[in-house]
Structure 1
Amino acid sequence: MISIDGVTDKSVLLIDDEEEILFLLKTVLQKEGFQQVYKATTGEEGIRLADQFKPDVIVLDIMLPDMDGYNVCKRIRESNFVPIIFLSAKSDDIDKLLGLGIGGDDYVTKPFSPKEVAFRVKAQLRRQQQYVVNHDQEDSNVSFGDIEVNRKLGEVKKAGRLVELRAKEYQLLTYLIKHPNQILSKQTICEKVWGEDYFGFDNTIMVHIRHLREKLEDNPSKPNYIKTVKGLGYKLLIPRGTYEA
């Protein structure tokens, strides 16, 4: 938990092949109260440390010597919903959207201020903490049609089979579940799920909606649950009498 003065017992994993950046980030994070800061200089080492230490936030460089950060993110996302902040020398919107689209939670371009990265790490922890608080206040099980969501375990099943969702896909689904049969604008979804202004996120939201449909719908091109309301946004259509909270 983050205190008012910024001291935290949470851990951070830094994955970057530049020792100077690792040193600066670790120094600033420790000054901000993070006592557990792990370092990795390759993608494979980062994946191993992520699995070993289960950090609360990962700061991940895109350009690594053995594999790019996008693939590292995909590998980590197979078993971990930890917030991931990308670091990159690329400032193009397409690179940012790609990073966010595959499961990243934030994106910082080089050169950057180490204190800005520390601020963004804390921001991710605050969002995560608030999500847990809200999550614990909700009923743990929701089912509609052949979809079952266990919010205590963070599990989603379709027809009894476990569905693997990435962190943002899961958060998007639970947000839709909290507002069944309501039209939700892309701007609202972006603000509530990503905690960001809508500008530049249109494609990211569409990608996540498409992925949810591919994993949950019998026919993703003709969805029964996640509907597009042209010009307005999306809504999770749940027939009356099938929703159990």
Structure 2
Amino acid sequence: MKGAKILIVDDERSIVEIMETVLRKEGFTDIDTVYDGEAALTACAHKRYDIVLLDVMMPGKSGLEICPFIRQTTNAPILFLTARMSDFDKLSGFAVGGDDYITKPFNPLEVVARMQAQLKRYLQVMPQLQPQSQSEDQRTADRYDFGRFQVDASEGTLTVDGSISHCPALVFQLLLFFCKHPNRIFNKRELYERIWGEEMYNDDNTVMVHIHRVRERIERDPSRPEYLVNVRGMGYKLTSPKGVDRSDS
């Protein structure tokens, strides 16, 4: 994890310097820093990062504007930094591909802790970043085929209708969790605690946004899901579309 490639994007140079200093003290050495959206896009086009710390409000292109373009080149976690604190702002960040949302002012050590948590999840669900050998039986056991889409846990890939679908780390982890537990119902709190690894405190919007992001990738019509369905009053489950008695959310 200490060898992770990190990109910090913020127009406030003092914040960039503080975060770089703290990260280096924590043992991270491969850190790039840029100060605007265009430079961030150029950096991501030339290097594969394991995590991106991205400011929202910057001159020129904002973090919200460039995030979808960064998502086209990487599935790595993207953590937004912003002074905007409303629920709408947070949902906007998740909707464009962010994995976490940190409001200013912040404690740099807390940011590092959240980055480490995201990296841990990312490396767990993207095993191709960690060289390893597997038998064919092991690889087969790590593949989940639902007809229209297939999930390969060992390669960290989602294939939909024969084409690879780019999938952010947390979205992939949520989908993989459902694949490992087909036809089982999980409520929002259970999902949050299983995937995010912490207790949920009156914030079910995060789960709902990520459920929608999974559906955008695997469903023919995300507004009428056939695979990742809502069981009214109980939660969500991943199932075969054949014979599903669903109650859409």
User: Same fold, TM exceeding 0.5?
Assistant: yes
Deviates more, 1:89-98 or 1:32-41: 89-98
53-62 or 218-227: bigger deviation: 218-227
Say if 2:224 is the partner of 1:217: no
Match of 2:135 in 1: none
Q: Please name the residue that 1:4 is paired with.
A: none
1:140 counterpart = 2:142: yes
TM-aligned CA distance change 1:110 to 1:141, over 3 Å = same
Q: What amino acid is the match of 1:96?
A: K
Match of 1:60 among 54, 60, 68: 54
| Length, aligned pairs only | 233
- Cα shift readout 1:102-150 (whole Å, capped 9, x = no counterpart): 32222211111222222222222223334456x9877332212222223
SS of the aligned residue for 2:42 comes to helix
> Which residue in the other structure is 1:243 paired with?
none
**What is residue 13 of structure 2 aligned with on the other side?**
19
Could you report, residue by residue, the CA deviation over 1:22-55 in whole angstroms, capped at 9, with x for unpaired residues? 1111111111111121100011111221232322
Superimposed CA distance per residue, residues 157-200 of structure 1 (whole angstroms, 9 cap, x where no aligned partner):
33323334333332221111011000011111122223343335
Task: Say if 2:40 is the partner of 1:43.
Answer: no
For 2:95, the aligned partner's letter is: G
State the match for 1:207 in structure 2: 209
Q: Percent identity?
A: 40
| Distance (Å, rounded) in 1 between the aligned partners of 2:47 and 2:189 | 35
**Range moving further from structure 2, 200-209 or 66-75:** 200-209
The two structures, once aligned, show a CA RMSD in angstroms of 2.4
Secondary structure at 1:82 match in 2: coil
Alignment match of 1:189 (pick from 185, 188, 191)? 191
Report the equivalent of 1:233.
235
Aligned to 2:156: 154
Q: Distance in 2 between matches of 1:158 and 1:24?
A: 42
Note closer, same or farther for the CA distance 1:97–1:221 as it changes in structure 2 (3 Å cut).
closer
**Structure 2 Cα separation of the partners of residues 41 and 68 of structure 1:** 11
Contact in 2 for aligned 1:103/1:167 (Cα 8 Å): no
Match of 1:96 among 73, 84, 90: 90
Q: 1:221 to 1:130 in 2, by over 3 A?
A: closer
- Cα deviation code 1:48-81 (max 9, x no counterpart): 2123232221111101111111122211111201
Provide structure 2 residue ranges, at least 5 long, that are not aligned to the other structure. 133-137, 243-249
Equivalent position of 1:178 in the other structure:
180
